[in-house]
Structure 1
Amino acid sequence: MIGTCMVIGDGILTPCISVLSAVGGIKQASNKMTEDMIVWMSVAVLVVLFIVQRFGTGKVGYTFAPILLIWFFFIAFTGLYNFIKYDPSVIKALNPMYIIYYFKRDKKQAWISLGGTVLSITGAEALFADVGHFTVRSIQLSTCTVIYPAIVLQYMGQSSYLRKHKMDALNAFYKAVPGPVYWPMFVIAVLAAIIASQSLISATFSIIQQSLALGCFPRVKIVHTSTKYEGQVYIPEINYLLMLACVAVTLGFRDPGKLGNAYGLAVVSVMAITSSLLVVIMIMIWKTHLLLIISYILIIGGLELLYLTAVLSKFIEGGYLPLVFAVILLAIMYTWNDVYRRKYYYELEHKISAERLKDIALNTNVSRLPGIAVFYSELVQGIPPIFGQYVSNVPVLHSLLVFVSIKSLPISKVPVDERFLFRQVQPKELNMFRCIVRYGYTDIRNEEEPFERLLVEGLKAYMQEEFLINESNQNHVQSNEADNDDICVQIEEDEIENEATERNIEEVTHGTEMMEVVEKAWHAGVVHFVGDNEVIAGKSANLWKRVLINYAYYFLKNNLRQSINKVFDIPQERMLKVGMTYELQ
């Protein structure tokens, strides 16, 4: 959760520092541009950036791809130009011995400077999230053949330029751009900053989607923008919250230097947490040799620890910002996940037992009404406790009961004939069925495919399939009897076949009766029962749990999406909410 929160914080800081730094280059061409003008221009660019997110990664990516190619060509060209013109001898800096000389000479200052050099590898911390939007091979090819060579040439060119112009170190990128290509470079730099920001925003959407699936994030609307890649998603609420946060940070900090300190801490923290989790995977899943694990910890872990201590030295100068974001997001995620798990285990412990169902079936005080009652629950197995709450207060049951669990699958579409999975619940006298409804991430629930009609048609198909199977079993037994004219057949075999025949006749009869029940119930009408659960801390809960459940979770629950009737097209006039209080310990 901490790593996820730091990446989301990274998604806030990346647009701010990228756009603010790129737009700041206009000072090079005009002395009339004030700091306030640059800040407000950056805010305008950020607002446009977040507005276009709703078109999806695929469409935005096709638009941005040519711009990125031009950007990398420009930085490679200007870097090579400066490298040749000013001081080609800087190529000696590729020798790692100069790092050792640098630390021997400058010591503490060299260690502090690592917090700035880490910014040269930003973006790598979010590659795992980009895999949800692009293929692994495309990322490998683009990085090795285009991105890395262009960046190395640009840094070598800046180094050559600074050998002759040491006073321009604070704005070396724009100062080193040759005059004729300054304005094209400025335009491309702003567009590239937008693209870099968009990649972290898309990564934020991806990890929030995964957190939501694991019950670690409050309910938000997920819009899938691609039928090919599951990871290409857009989350409207998160998009606008990120936009407001970016605008606030840009107006509050105004200085790319302070934002760089915050950005560096977010990047290194994510890398360190990722490496720590990778060690766990190496031990428990990959079963890697112990020497390789120790080598990884000493080499990679040692470098990341060194970088982390360097960026922490800038904590007061803006480095605290990602930690503030992380603490707020972590509080939200932890609260939601903790109560989510407690609720689920409560339902498992209090689900209706088979004995309780038998008692309900034999209870003469329970009346039956014509129609279908649909109960919604997250439980895949067992009858949810809201059913017991309903029967205890209203001793009337509909002629047909269906307990529905909605599940989302990681595929684009689920065929309608495979969407519903039915199982009949014993005892049969209750006419009770469990149903798992499966949706793909691009399946649309609309008026053309009303949920009620599809549910009933799926139930009829299930009953018809059961009827045909039983009927075929009966015909098979009867054919065996006709062919078996041997008078020496054993009496025991005859008795077994007769029992099987009687059993199949009973099942066929039951199937026919159930088809009639379903048809009559469908014409009588459908009523939807939705649990309106109130969650409170139990009497034995301590003060921390009381605050967590009664106040923090209550606040989140009342300010987030709750309308199941809108999601599954439940008619308002046929929806009843069953209130129940969960006392969580």
Structure 2
Amino acid sequence: QPFEVVTQAHLGHPQVRKSAAAVPGVGFEIRASIGVIYGDIGTSPLYVYASTHVLNKTDDAGNFIPALNDDILGVLSLIIYTFTLIPLIKYCFIVLQANDNGNGGTFALYSLICRYAKINLATNQAPEDRVLSTYQLDLPTQNAKRAAKIKEYLERSRFWKNLLLTVALVGTCCVIGDGVLTPSISDVVVEVSVASLVVLFAIQRFGTHKVGNSFAPCICLWFACIALIGIYNIIKFDPSIFKAFNPYYINSFFKRNKRDGWVSLGGVVLAITALSENAGSEAMFADLAHFSVASIQISCTIVAYPCLILAYIGQAAWLMKHQDMVSTTFYSSIPKPVYWPMFVVATAAAVIASQAMILGVFSIVVQSMALGCFPRCKIVHTSPKYEGQIYIPEINWALMVMCIIVTAALQDTAKIGNAYGVTVVAVIFMTTFFVSFIMLMIWQKNLWLTLAFFDFFGAIELVYFSSVMYKIPQYGWIPIAFVTGLISIMYTWYYTRKEAFKYEVNNKLSMNWLLGLGSNLGIARVPGISLIYTELPQGVPGIFGHLISNLPAMHSTLILVCIKNLPMPTVPAEERILLRRVGPPAYRMYRCAVRYGYKDDDGRGAELEDELMSSLEEFLRAEAAGALQLELASNPANEDCRALEDYQAGGSLVTGAHDKGRKTDHDIEIDSRAQRKIEGLQQARQNGVIYILGHTNLRCKSESNFLRKFIIDDYYGFLRRNCRSIIDTFDIPHTNLLQVGMVHYI
């Protein structure tokens, strides 16, 4: 393929994009992160003690059995140490460091591993993508040999490739499933809860920065209130409660209660699922797309952690004198003079609690779409100042409907609490699994240190996971049902798109076939530009052969456009577009790869067209300079040749200091050669730009088995018909659209 690539360059639109990131102040981020991320954290004291089995036992006749004071101390000690070890130490100071250029979540961890090792089964990885400035990883040299061996093993092992993808999919689905339960768990009265949920989801379209600033005062007031009430209860009821910091009480708790103590972990875990999910694991970790690591760490250690610890200690001190009132611990422990004001603040905080999970779900869905694992949805970038703040209408309303159904069906916080936490703990363990890989391969930490991290935290999390599995018959099956449905959607979409891409690769047209058509491609060439969208980053797609076989004419300029969503947060604007020529210059045919990260605002309609045309003009100038350099290559010592190299590096052609600002003959020659082509391109654009898209129906071959036919013909077909098309996603004008219908049997 001698004419496949004449020249190529990373070219970007010189105009600053509207969604360019602005750096917010730390004060703004801390304030907003408290309002957005930590709402759910504060709600955990509402129900943790009431959900703990040992403290809320009944006999065979249904009579309540008051808990022992040592059991109260044991539960408090479990809360303190679990709270400190998992959310604070593990997530705030270890997991948050495993971010993907400031982005968190299961898929962010997965994409980080994918960029280091070629394990991604998705289609959007190519050698030219790996030279992007944001793609490269700065790796230390320590333990590099072991990391390289692990990388090579992963790249060879189909089992580990599929396992890592499966863990990423399951973890993501678990978080989305919990996004249905987190808002529901805040109910007080069903009617009030439903109305509150409608309002909460309706305001999401205003954006993270506005919602966060609106919620921050209420959440800050909430944390101050529960901390002060905790201090009051400690002083009044039992100042000696601080002895629960002695881990002896954990040991004696399990010795005394045995199986009941193990079951009680399912209630204790509710104290950390709020913080782990929203200040450490998926939702808070995914909310790194909205806030910085520093702001989240500061707001957690200075505000959330101490206030919640004081609240739990204060409730335990109150319980030491009121063992028979465990089921109403939170509200009963509030001093009477401030009961009603606190009731209002608690209700508001409970409604706000779901905000972090909603935003976390938005970020996770975007990352999933970038890796080809989720149907296309509309993504609205809600802030022109702060990059990564998004809103997805379809996901928002779907979550609202499911939250209302769960709230109306269960109508009880205790029942929803039983459902909540089953999948959350699974995600916590999956995060430990991914971070361990990152520690070995990317951070290249000591092997024994990595094993200690995995064994220590993994063992704790698996014990908690075994306990919450006890809740499955008691409505714990609800999140599992959600997760199962989501996994089926994501896997079906991923699997079918992968098979479709394989079909495209195997049936692309050869360059010899293209060259055999001649410069007119065997048809009439009319003025204008055709943008032919294809998923193939290399080669001539089958849709092109179908076009010229059925149309008598094609435009004078043809551009094969491949939109690529890479497994990375952002692609710099100057590196976004990659252009190369297809065939000899007389063919006037180009290939264009437009590359986006999962935080980037995809170019749409006229904006993308302007960017393409501007980049193509720069490409033609660089091509003219390259052609002239070849002519001068016979005399590399020539001063003009060296000046030409300076021009290609970004300077202007000058022969000396006294000539600065004056064009040489070679400058003029380059401008003349390029200008003729640029004027031809501009004239072609004035004659019209047509967007050509394939409208492909995927069907199974007749010899395929029943399951494969169901997945591709029925399930994927249903998803494809009900998701957004690429026409809507990229805002392609219908007046300039030509769709080519094809059927692919895969």
Partner Cα distance (1:426, 1:54) in 2: 47
Using the TM superposition, give the Cα deviation of residue 228 of structure 1 relative to its aligned residue in structure 2, in angstroms.
5.3
| Structure 2 residue aligned with 1:34 | none
| Structure 1 residue aligned with 2:175 | 7
> Retained in 2: the 8 A contact 1:230–1:411?
no
Using the TM superposition, give the Cα deviation of residue 349 of structure 1 relative to its aligned residue in structure 2, in angstroms.
2.4
Letter in 2 for 1:579: G
Using the TM superposition, give the Cα deviation of residue 260 of structure 1 relative to its aligned residue in structure 2, in angstroms.
1.0
Assess, with a 3 A threshold, how the Cα gap between structure 1 residues 411 and 87 changes in structure 2: closer, same or farther: closer
1:542 and 2:542 are equivalent in the alignment: no
What do the CA deviations read for 1:509-548 (whole angstroms, capped 9, x no partner)?
A: 9756644543443343332211111111124433221111
Letter in 1 for 2:230: G
| Structure 1 residue aligned with 2:687 | 524
Assess, with a 3 A threshold, how the Cα gap between structure 1 residues 456 and 141 changes in structure 2: closer, same or farther: closer
> Retained in 1: the 8 A contact 2:691–2:736?
yes
Letter in 2 for 1:356: W
Partner Cα distance (1:420, 1:295) in 2: 44
The number of residue pairs the alignment matches comes to: 545
| Structure 2 residue aligned with 1:575 | 737
| Structure 1 residue aligned with 2:346 | 189
Indicate the larger mover: 107-116 or 348-357: 348-357
Assess, with a 3 A threshold, how the Cα gap between structure 1 residues 294 and 550 changes in structure 2: closer, same or farther: same
Matches within 5 A, 1:234-313: 234-313=391-470
Using the TM superposition, give the Cα deviation of residue 134 of structure 1 relative to its aligned residue in structure 2, in angstroms.
1.4
Partner Cα distance (1:297, 1:412) in 2: 30
> Retained in 2: the 8 A contact 1:368–1:399?
yes
| Structure 2 residue aligned with 1:162 | 319
> Retained in 1: the 8 A contact 2:378–2:729?
no
Higher helix share: 1
More contact order relative to length (CA 8 Å, sep ≥ 6): 2
Letter in 2 for 1:582: H
Indicate the larger mover: 95-104 or 285-294: 285-294
| Structure 2 residue aligned with 1:434 | 591
| Structure 2 residue aligned with 1:552 | 715
Q: TM-score, normalised by structure 1?
A: 0.85
Assess, with a 3 A threshold, how the Cα gap between structure 1 residues 278 and 421 changes in structure 2: closer, same or farther: closer
Name the SS for the 1:164 alignment partner.
coil
Q: What is the RMSD of the two structures over their aligned residues, measured on CA atoms?
A: 3.1
Partner Cα distance (2:252, 2:555) in 1: 83
Identity, % of aligned positions: 44
Partner Cα distance (2:443, 2:621) in 1: 48
Partner Cα distance (2:397, 2:612) in 1: 36
1:562 and 2:562 are equivalent in the alignment: no
Partner Cα distance (1:292, 1:454) in 2: 48
Assess, with a 3 A threshold, how the Cα gap between structure 1 residues 41 and 518 changes in structure 2: closer, same or farther: same
Indicate the larger mover: 324-333 or 289-298: 289-298
Assess, with a 3 A threshold, how the Cα gap between structure 1 residues 270 and 245 changes in structure 2: closer, same or farther: same
Assess, with a 3 A threshold, how the Cα gap between structure 1 residues 195 and 345 changes in structure 2: closer, same or farther: same
Assess, with a 3 A threshold, how the Cα gap between structure 1 residues 297 and 87 changes in structure 2: closer, same or farther: same
> Retained in 1: the 8 A contact 2:286–2:363?
yes
What do the CA deviations read for 1:17-37 (whole angstroms, capped 9, x no partner)?
A: 1x21xx3xxxxxxxxxxxxxx
Using the TM superposition, give the Cα deviation of residue 82 of structure 1 relative to its aligned residue in structure 2, in angstroms.
0.7
Among 225, 229, 235, the residue aligned to 1:74: 225
Partner Cα distance (2:629, 2:471) in 1: 77
> Retained in 1: the 8 A contact 2:373–2:490?
yes
Matches within 5 A, 1:325-474: 325-361=482-518, 365-407=522-564, 420-437=577-594, 449=606, 451-452=608-609, 455-467=612-624, 470=627
Partner Cα distance (1:130, 1:519) in 2: 44
> Retained in 2: the 8 A contact 1:412–1:443?
no
Letter in 2 for 1:344: F
Indicate the larger mover: 104-113 or 288-297: 288-297
Partner Cα distance (1:178, 1:50) in 2: 33
Partner Cα distance (1:129, 1:478) in 2: 57
Letter in 2 for 1:247: I
Partner Cα distance (1:280, 1:214) in 2: 19
Letter in 1 for 2:333: A
Indicate the larger mover: 227-236 or 472-481: 472-481
Among 105, 117, 128, the residue aligned to 2:285: 128
Partner Cα distance (1:519, 1:157) in 2: 73
Name the SS for the 1:521 alignment partner.
helix
Assess, with a 3 A threshold, how the Cα gap between structure 1 residues 539 and 359 changes in structure 2: closer, same or farther: farther
Name the SS for the 1:323 alignment partner.
helix
Name the SS for the 2:692 alignment partner.
strand
Name the SS for the 1:372 alignment partner.
strand
> Retained in 1: the 8 A contact 2:520–2:587?
no
* Unpaired runs of at least 5, structure 2: 1-168, 641-666
Partner Cα distance (1:101, 1:158) in 2: 21
Assess, with a 3 A threshold, how the Cα gap between structure 1 residues 567 and 120 changes in structure 2: closer, same or farther: closer
Name the SS for the 2:722 alignment partner.
coil
1:48 and 2:210 are equivalent in the alignment: no
What do the CA deviations read for 1:411-467 (whole angstroms, capped 9, x no partner)?
A: 88976x8765432211223211112345686758678x5655554454344334433
